[in-house]
Amino acid sequence: MHKINIAIDGPAGSGKSTVAKEVANELSYLYIDTGAMYRALTFRALQAQVSEQDEQSLIQILKEMEITLEQQRDGDVQVLVNGERLGEEIRTQTVTAKVSEVSAHRRIREEMVARQQQLAKQRGVVLDGRDIGTYVLPGAELKIYMDASVEERAKRRHLENIGKQRPSDITTTKEEIKRRDGLDRERPIAPLQQAEDAVRIDTTNRAIEEVVVHICGIAREKENED
């Protein structure tokens, strides 16, 4: 048996982070939430009143940020920036509204990808994001592309917001998801797309556990391949 690397990509609300967390837990792997890294940068840029268009200032902010993803006992990931814990503040609507523009810049992506590849060197990692199978870990032994209808994804995000007592409205949530999907899919650098060798899983009508069992089954087969 040998550890493999698992890449999970897909649009917002397709179930990537929930599933990635559980798969990592099941296989005793490390879960790396790459979206949280882009969100942390966006949060810091907003704090510094730097425009999402200002690539030069954004890269400067990023270079001064040491981002650590700390795995909690419950499998959740705690983001630390220069030792300071960031929680709900990286998931606000304000951050969500700007994160796709911030992450579209070439130099930002180059820096983030280099950091993510460094984290994956130890092997036995599950990374989720938009460009993992295509750019970050093109050699990952297992690539998953998760999708679900936009209605279902908006409903999930809305319910999640309500559960976490964040202000939410289903129509606005759906519009925001569509807008972000469009930006992530159409950006010139590392757009969201399915890698040729990825396994596609439509989670619209599938329970989380079912998807986790499916992925762990394939992962265990790969772990036992020569």
Tell me the closest approach of the beta carbon of residue 225 to ligand CDP, in angstroms.
26
User: What is d(CA 194, CA 146) in angstroms, rounded to the nearest whole number?
Assistant: 9
Q: Chain-centre distance of CA 6, in angstroms?
A: 13
Cβ closer to ligand CDP: 10 or 224? 10
In whole angstroms, the minimum distance from the beta carbon of 96 to ligand CDP comes to: 7
Of 166 and 223, the one with the shorter C-beta distance to ligand CDP is 166
Q: Which residues in 82-177 belong to E strands, given as ranges?
A: 84-86, 125-129, 142-147
- Cα–Cα distance for residue pair 54/67, rounded to 1 Å: 21
Q: Which of residues 170-209 bind ligand CDP (CB under 6 A)?
A: 180, 184, 203, 206-208
Per DSSP, the chain holds a count of helices (H) and strands (E) of: 8, 8
| SS3 call for 31 | strand
Which of the 8 DSSP states describes residue 125?
E
**Cα separation, 165 vs 176, whole angstroms:** 18
Binding mask 45-84 for ligand CDP (x = CB under 6 A): ----------------------------------------
Q: Is 10 annotated as a binding residue?
A: yes
Tokens of 51: 């425009």
Site string for ligand CDP, 99-138 (x = CB under 6 A): xx--x-------------------------xxxx------
Does position 154 interact with ligand CDP (CB under 6 A)? The reply is: no
Residues of the shown chain interacting with ligand CDP in the complex, contacts defined by CB under 6 A: 10, 12-18, 34-35, 38-39, 99-100, 103, 129-132, 156-157, 160, 180, 184, 203, 206-208, 211
